[in-house]
Structure formats: C-alpha cells, structure tokens
Amino acid sequence: MIIVTGGAGFIGSNILKGLEAKGYKDLVVTDWLGKEDKWKNIAKRELAFVVLPEDLDQFLTKHEPEITAVIHMGAISTTTEKDVDLILRSNQHLTWKLWEFCRDFNKQFIYASSAATYGSGENGFKDQETLDYLNALRPLNPYGWSKAFFDRKVAREIAEGRKTPKQYAGLKFFNVYGPNEYHKGGQKSVVAHIFPDIKADNPVKLFKSYNPKYADGQQLRDFVWVGDIVNVIVWLVEHPEVNGLFNVGAGEARSFYDLAAAAWKAMGKEPKITFKEMPEELRGKYQYYTKADITKLREAGYKEPMTPLEEGVRMYVQNYLNQEDPYL
C-alpha cells in the first residue's frame, strides 16, 4: 500500500497515474476535495481509499502493516499565502509526523521540498544537505521558508546520527507544468494561464522585467514537465536504497517568452506576445533566474532524459488543454 498525500492535487494525481501504469495497486489518496472539480483529478484512478487529512492518523494506525511507502505531496503551496500558522501546520508539522511514522515503522518516505527554498538564488541552486549551506539559504516567502525549515530539520537528524525512515528523499521541484493543475487558480503554470488567449487568438501578456539584466519576457526559469517528476518518484519507490535531498528540474533555464512561443506553436499559430506590469507585491520577491543542478540525481542513478520544453508544452497543449476532457 502506497499513500500519496495531496493525491488529488496536481503533482499527486500525476504520481497516482504513474504508479498505476507501473502496476502498483492499493493506492491511497489523502486530500481534501472541496466543492469544485478537484475530484476529477482522481476520477480515472483505481484507488483503495480516499482519506481526509483529519482521519490520516487513524488510518495510519489501522493499516500500518500494509503500508510500504508514503509519498508526501500535500502542502500549502501558494507562494502568496500570508497565514504562516496555516503553512506551518501543513508544511512542517504534518510532514514531521509522517517522517516519524516512516521512521518508527521502517517505511519509505518521499516528500516535496521546493526550489523556493533557494530564494533569489544568490547561494546557487545546489541540492547540498550540509547545515551550513541550508542555513545560508534565504527563501523569499513563507512557503519557501517552511520547506527550508523541514530540510534543515532532516539535515540535523542525519548529522546527529538519529534513526531515519527506511528511505528518505526530499525533492526540490522547479517550475512544474502539465495536466490536472486546473484547480490551482493563480498558482497554475504560465502555459495553463495563457492557453485560453491562445485558443481565442488573443495576444498573451507576460510580466515586464524590473531587473535591468533581463529584458521583458526574458526572465529565466527551469520549466519541468510533470511526467519527468513522476518518473523520478516512481524510480525512487523502486530504489529504496537512494536517500537524500535532490533537485528535480529539466536542468536548463528557459525564458517565459520561449514558453509562450512554444504554446503558440503547439496550436499551429504565430506568437502574439505582449507585456504587462507585475503586481507591486511581487516585485521585491521575484526570481529572475532558476536552473536545477541535477548532477546529484544523475549520480544517484537516475538516467532517464528530461523532456525538452517544446515537447513538453506540445504534449500539454495538444493532448490535454485543447481536449474536451483535459484530465489525466
């Protein structure tokens, strides 16, 4: 039995599809579904249970002998969320509780960290696990800080020689895009945001740059296809001997202009791209450059190639966004 927290969310639901495709059964979702269409993210999956987060403790106790792994994707992932107490309860307290369960009962524990832990990138994008390096990182928002907080806590446990889960793997995702993110509102990927305008043949608007080193639309990100995230996680499930903190990205920095142009091309249209003002509250907290160094992941044994930006965007646009049923 594998538990996927946040399993009805964007990355979580894609992980379920990937595990199911590999023949895994007894898959369990822990998530809130709410009153909107989030349930559609898991409607096509064959699941053993859907467990509300408030019932998770009881479920873990009852099914402990059957559980082999916990894949913890559940989090408050909104980078603009200001309720830090809410963020801590979800992103630190629950994560530690699951760490303790996997530690005490010898289970695999794979959890989502975040590239937001790197802040503006002044200390680089190395997935180092030393406390000195982790303590030097300066996230730009409470979400990033909550993820960095847990990474440091794990690093202290390791440094002090304390007992760990059977497997522990923290994954620093970069800018992920792909199907089943439709419920995320303002946190959807840029591809999902601009697609309705592209379909209607209206110009898309990207943020202007407020950094003289970058022209409008030339801000750089490591955009990673969600299918690559899934492949890494399935590989980790199948390699419980692999432990540590790992960047998971495409390993290259591409511009938002490139991303938008790829989406236009996927629809067989010439790009129409303009620029708009960035909200004031974002200007001082904006990352102008991210690029995942995935050397450590490669050295751990993961050999699959990462999907090129143009191919990932093409698959997303043609196979999902432009379909009547866009769900995975």
Unique residue bearing structure tokens 């001997």: 241
DSSP-assigned states of every residue in 116-149: GGGTTSTT-------HHHHHH---SSHHHHHHHH
- Residue 313: which of 263, 255, 253 has the closest Cα? 263
Residue 33, both tokens: 């579904």
Residue 86's pLDDT is what? Answer: 79
Residue 33's pLDDT is what? Answer: 93
**pTM of the predicted protein model:** 0.94
Q: Which structural domain range is residue 106 located in?
A: 2-177+223-250+291-307
Domain membership of residue 210 (yes or no) is no
Strands of 95-151 (E only): list them: 108-112
Domain membership of residue 22 (yes or no) is yes
Residue 89's pLDDT is what? Answer: 78
Residue 136's pLDDT is what? Answer: 92
Domain membership of residue 261 (yes or no) is no
- Residue 153: which of 100, 218, 76, 216 has the closest Cα? 100
Domain membership of residue 324 (yes or no) is no
Q: Which residues pair with 204 in a beta bridge?
A: 273
Query: Which domain CATH number covers 51?
Result: 3.40.50.720
Domain membership of residue 114 (yes or no) is yes
Q: How many domains does the chain have?
A: 1
Domain membership of residue 314 (yes or no) is no
Residue 163's pLDDT is what? Answer: 97
Domain membership of residue 168 (yes or no) is yes
Domain membership of residue 154 (yes or no) is yes
Q: In this structure, which amino acid lies at residue 175?
A: N
Mean pLDDT, each 10-residue run in order, the chain (328 residues): 97 98 97 93 97 95 98 80 79 90 98 91 89 91 90 94 97 97 92 97 96 96 98 98 97 97 98 95 85 97 98 98 96
Report, as residue numbers or ranges, the catalytic residues.
Answer: 143, 184
Q: What is the 3-state secondary structure (H, E, C) of 219-245?
A: CEECEEEHHHHHHHHHHHHCCCCCCEE
Residue 179, both tokens: 């199907």
Sign of CA dihedral 33, 34, 38, 43: positive
